[in-house]
Chains A and B, each alone.
Chain A
Amino acid sequence: MLSHRKPTLSGRYARTAYLFLAPAILFFGVFFFLPIGNVLSTSTRTGPQADRFTGLGNYARAAADPAVHHAFLVTLVFSLAVVAGSIVLGLALALALNQPLRGRVAFRVALLVPYLTSVAIVGLLWRNILDPQLGVLNRVLGELGLPPQEWLNTHPLATIVAVTLWQGVGYTMVLFLAGLQGIPEVYHEAARVDGASGWLRFWRITLPLLAPTTLFVSVMAVISGLQAFGQAYIITNGGPGDATDLFVFHIFQVAFDSRDFGYSSAQSVLLLLVIVAFTVVQLRAGRRGEIQY
């Protein structure tokens, strides 16, 4: 056992590590794990006051509930689209803006501004723009002689994906920009000297060295994609019908409309397990991809 041995060098650093971690452990224990523990215990109870014990009843109910399955499927599609879109677009824009271009600060500002405002305001704004009857977009399209759109009814899920990307792409761009700053120029120079083409340099040097950033961006994008809520809450109210019934929006309705905190807690725990699984897989894959230098 560890305690029988004389403290080795790594043992000493372990102590330092825990010393540095102490405030964090205390903080996360009180403000995250106490409440999460509470969620776990609530998930075994039922009734409007969540005061009747039901064991795993809520979990069994969720497993057989078509509305839960549907919401999960909607969320999965939404997340995959948002994750792929934000990585590809964010990286492309970051690469473009990492060059010595005239006016690049202005471009960076322009691309990030949607992120600086809140999901709620962005949602209200886009509802105002996209409304087929009352929105400003159809007015503009009309003046340009183009046919009116009705995307909120014809392609509701794609529309909220687009709005999410519209708001979030500047954020991934900034993360990639910061990551690109960490890549020493010498690598590129060496490759250039060797005569490697731009694409080759991107695949062989930039992308591998960006791996820690890419891992971070994709893990966070999956987490926030699976937890997306405001888009459905503000823009579509989950509709039309249940077309944009994102999982967390669904849980919110179960909790606060139906006042079934037990059932909503059980669904949150299931969501937690799904996201943990996704994240562990990503971290495993990421560890293989990470370059130590």
Chain B
Amino acid sequence: MRRALTYAVLTVSALITVVPLLYMVSLALQTEAETLSADPVLWPASPQFGNFAELFERAPFGDFIVNSLIVAGVITLSHLIFDPLVGYVFAKFRFPLRNTLFVLLLATLMVPFFVRMIPLYVMMAGLGWLDSYQALITPFLMDAFGIFLMRQFIQPIPDDLISAARIDGASEMAIYRKIILPQTRPALAVLGLFTFVFQWNEFLWPLIATTTPEMRTIPVGLTLFNQEYFTLWHLTAAGSVILFVPTAVLFLVSQRYFVKGITLTGLR
């Protein structure tokens, strides 16, 4: 009985989340006339798979994909290296100004990006980095979200493990790499996924920091399919479907780590 109820609730929830997205897939397969119609088309009369090809004909969409992969990939890698290290320090070390630094760190999350955007843009222009991967990547190498996340997940690791290793004479770096990191796999999977998704969908900064079509990322490239007074929905939706594929694949790969099951979580 209880199990049946759980299934019912989950099924309804899943339908609510998935069906609207299926409508996006439907839009991606409609003709332009169907998408512009005032009587919305639920599913196209004949699916237009050519819409995807049209994306590549009308814009350097291949470049957009490569750029998006490079930018989001490098940033995610950097987060996976730095965020757990800093999170570990805030979780397990006592040092002067710890709380102040932590609040300052969190404060960096509290300023809307576009407010920092113009000073950052001026800085990048001064460095001559506009329209380059450096400009797209460097401002996002770490963030407080990832550090805070890792701190929260490292905190429950017993202090005894660290003390014992110190007594055994392990170096601080070795403790971090051999004891802490292996225990944070679920959190790292979550961090990698969220960082990638966030960067992959980022719009404002790539819009501002790039000047040539060849340096654009997918979300910025998609705006090219908007006309002055209306949107080319079939192309925007087709691009959104493409945009969605890598994040979905990444999720399928990473979810194994954070939902592996209680029995496998290890040492305790």
Contacts and interface: CB of A to CB of B under 8 A. Distances in A.
Interface of A: 2, 10, 13-14, 16-18, 20-21, 23-24, 27-28, 31-36, 38-39, 93, 96-101, 104-121, 124-126, 128-129, 133-136, 139-140, 166, 169-171, 174-175, 177-186, 209, 212-213, 215-216, 219-220, 223, 227, 229, 248, 251-252, 255-256, 261, 264-265, 268, 271-272, 275-276, 279-280, 283, 290, 293
Contacts of B187: 178
B99 to A, nearest CB: 9
B82 A271 contact: no
A272 B86 contact: no
A118 B82 CA distance: 25
Contacts of B262: 98, 180-181, 183, 185
Interface stretch (B15-23, B44-52, B53-61, B69-77): B15-23
B201 A119 contact: yes
A203 B233 CA distance: 48
Contacts of A31: 120, 138-139, 141
A113 B112 contact: no
Contacts of B101: 21
Contacts of B98: 17
B229 interface: no
A114 B17 contact: yes
Q: Chain B: interface secondary structure?
A: helix
Nearest to A261: B118
Nearest to B38: A134
A95 to B, nearest CB: 9
A186 to B, nearest CB: 7
A215 B24 contact: no
Contact of B23 (A99, A129, A215): A129
A64 B108 CA distance: 27
Most buried by B among A36, A98, A276: A36
A174 B13 contact: no
A185 B27 CA distance: 46
B240 interface: yes
Contact of B10 (A32, A97, A185): A97
B249 to A, nearest CB: 10
B123 interface: yes
B169 interface: no
Contact of A109 (B89, B114, B240, B255): B255
B110 A275 contact: yes
Contacts of B259: 97-98, 104-105, 108, 177, 181
B191 to A, nearest CB: 10
A213 B148 CA distance: 10
Interface in B89-138: 89, 93-96, 98, 101, 103-112, 114-116, 118-120, 123, 138
Interface string B234-268: 00100010011001100110010011111101001
A24 B251 CA distance: 28
Nearest to B122: A38
A23 B260 CA distance: 33
A216 B149 contact: yes
The 4 nearest A-B residue pairs measured at CB: A118-B201, A110-B14, A14-B95, A35-B119
Given A216-B148, A252-B114, A28 B142 contact: yes
B9 interface: yes
A41 to B, nearest CB: 10
A276 B114 contact: no
Nearest to B107: A276
Most buried by A among B3, B27, B93, B189: B93
Given A110-B14, A212-B153, A32 B110 contact: no
Given A39-B111, A96-B10, A116-B244, A213 B152 contact: yes
B115 A265 contact: yes
A220 B148 contact: yes
Contacts of A18: 95
B45 to A, nearest CB: 16
A159 to B, nearest CB: 13
Given A39-B111, A178-B190, A264-B115, A117 B27 contact: no
19 contacts: A20-B93, A28-B105, A34-B119, A35-B116, A36-B108, A100-B261, A101-B6, A105-B259, A108-B259, A109-B248, A112-B255, A116-B251, A117-B244, A125-B240, A177-B258, A178-B190, A220-B109, A261-B118, A276-B103
Contacts of B105: 24, 28
A140 B22 CA distance: 14
A293 B159 CA distance: 8
Given A119-B201, A261-B118, A178 B112 contact: no
A128 B28 CA distance: 13
B155 A116 contact: no
Given A28-B108, A118-B219, A181-B186, A113 B21 contact: yes
Nearest to B93: A17
A125 B7 CA distance: 28
B110 A120 contact: no
